[in-house]
Amino acid sequence: MNEKIFKDRTKKLALRVIQLTETLPHTRAADVIAKQIIRSATSVGANYRAACRAKSTADMIIKLKIVEEESDETIYWLELLLESKSLQYSEVNEIMKEAEEVLAITVASIKTLRVRLPNRKS
């Protein structure tokens, strides 16, 4: 997947999460989760943009590891929204799939980049 397409996907993921949080009930728990998931979902795209500006392969891997962590955290918060019954599966399903795809693509990219590292340890 090329850089522009992935930048667009990560931005759309963040926007969809922001829109999703607007539909949450106004409870203490939902408010806390909303803040956390907005932070993690917007961080995915922001950190991917930073990775695209990396100064070396090693630097890019470090930045992509943050994308990996934030994608996984976004999935965690989506799971909590489901399991706490704050949202229905139908409301979260597509966003969850996209977050999982972003995570999988990021992990695959990290693996590919590690092969390119000079003096890598096997």
- Residue-wise pLDDT tens digits, 58-76: 999 999 999 999 999 999 9
Reported pTM: 0.92
Provide the CATH number for the domain formed by 3-115 in this structure. 1.20.1440.60
Within 8 A by CB and 6+ apart from 111, the residues are none
**What is the sign of the dihedral through the CA atoms of 50, 53, 59 and 60?**
positive
In the chain, domain spans: 3-115
Q: pLDDT of 16-55, one tens digit each?
A: 999 999 999 999 999 999 999 999 999 999 999 999 999 9
